[in-house]
Amino acid sequence: MTLEQIHAAIPHRAPMLLVDEIVEQSEEKIICRKTFHEDEFFVQGHYPDYPLVPGVILCEAAMQTGAILLSQFVGEGSGVPVATRMNNIKFRKMVRPGDTIEMEVTLTERMADAFFMKAKVSCNGKVSVRLDFACTLAPNPAE
């Protein structure tokens, strides 16, 4: 999927767009990738002598991947996906500038405009983060 298609699917933009490419997508599962660089604003002070991608950024990347998956259920302009819950977050492996992560998100349940998902973020074939999360559709403020 091109950057233009990602922009059409979710409202996130640089510097907070945390998806570079969509590798695979079905109705209930999506796999995306993101490569982190030294000049990303969130690694500048985290930590100056040993830069790490913050765990909350890895969770956000997974949730953006989920938002792309949900875009198939959302009519154009009918809502903006927002996180409502994160549970069972487990951090396993550090991610540093230069690393590429792969985010795999599965839709486990849908109740009206509430979507429940599971995510696995991997780096070099090893799990960095696992989490469960939920999103809902908030009214689009541009309307």
Catalytic residues: 46
Cα–Cα dist 130/91, whole Å: 7
- The answer to whether 64 and 56 are in contact (CB under 8 A) is no
Start-to-end CA span in the chain (Å): 27
> Please, what is the Cα angle at 32 between 30 and 34, to 5 degrees?
160
The residue among 137, 134, 130, 138 whose CA lies nearest residue 55 is: 130
State the virtual CA torsion across 20, 22, 23, 26 in degrees, nearest 10: 160
Cα–Cα dist 42/124, whole Å: 21
